[in-house]
Structure formats: structure tokens, C-alpha cells
Structure 1
Amino acid sequence: MRGLTPGFRQVELVRLDDLASVVSLLVSVPINNDRLDWSAQNPPADWASVRDEEQIAHVVRTAVATLAFGYLNAAAMVKPSIPTRKEQGKA
């Protein structure tokens, strides 16, 4: 990540966090709402495909959240360069 500014990392962090939220809202929430009506004794015929879809969404969401955490750590480790008064006078 050499050469990237802390601001760039923060933007990527927000984008990745937003993506993880979108995956949750578009996949996990509807599946969980459907499961409220399921019965353990009489599951729907397509329960296995629903489970598989949720597992894939979980993997994607976890990978994106892990990347976002990595960007957060990278942004926290970068010391922002603060120009001195002498450097500010040159601008």
C-alpha cells in the first residue's frame, strides 16, 4: 500500500463497509425473514439451496469485512504528514 494516502484508505474502508451492509440487507435479511415461518419438523423443499445461498453471502460479507478491517488498520498506522510553518509559507 505504499504511496496511498490515509484518505484513500479511509474511502476504501467506507466503501467496503457499505458493501458488507448491502450484502446483509439484500441476502441475509430476506432469508432470515423467510425463516421466521419455517417449521423444524416441516422445512420447505428448497431449504438446502436457501442455506447454500446464505453461506455464500456469509463468506462474501466476512471477506469484505476483513478487508475493511485491514484498511482500517493500515489507515491507523500511517502517520499523516503535517507541513511545518516553513513549508506552508512556500505554498
Structure 2
Amino acid sequence: MILMTELDQARQEINRINQQLVKLLEQRFTAVTKVNNYKVAHQLPILDQQREQAILNKVTAETSDPAKAPFIAAIFKDIMKQSRQYEQALRKED
């Protein structure tokens, strides 16, 4: 009988969360495609700094543990950066 260590259990939990995150990120990129289509149709730029700052403010405010807030905000900054790069790639396809 193999006993799972606390480390193994924590890693399994991370793996489950990662699977959920991948699905959520795929959904987010589907929404980014729709946003990009609207921006192209209305000749809007990819970057909307006010919108991104509002998202960061909201994410920070919604974080229950203030010690984690800057790290979560950093992740969202990267998600938004990758989303902008995805929009640029979509525009190159057209």
C-alpha cells in the first residue's frame, strides 16, 4: 500500500486546479476573440488601459487575503498581456 504524503496530496490538488484553470482560460480567450471582433469592427485599439486598471483594482479588492493580492494582480496583468498578444495574432490572420 502506497501512502500519499502531504506533498503528493497538495500537488494533486494543484493539478486539479490547473485543469480547471485551463478550461477557464480557454473560455476567456473565446471571449477575447469576441471582444477583438468588436474592436476591429469599430476601429478600436487593442489596449484599453482604463479597462485593464479597473480589472486590476477589482481583482485586488476581491482577494480575501491581502498578502496574496499583489501576486494575483501580477497573474492578471500577465493574462491581459497574453490576451493583447492573442488579439494581435488574430488581427494578423485577417
- Quickly name the TM-score band, shorter chain normalised: 0.3 to 0.5
Tell me the TM-score normalised to structure 2 length: 0.35
Larger Rg: 1
Greater RCO structure (CA 8 Å; 6+ sep): 1
Higher helix share: 2
Tell me the TM-score normalised to structure 1 length: 0.36
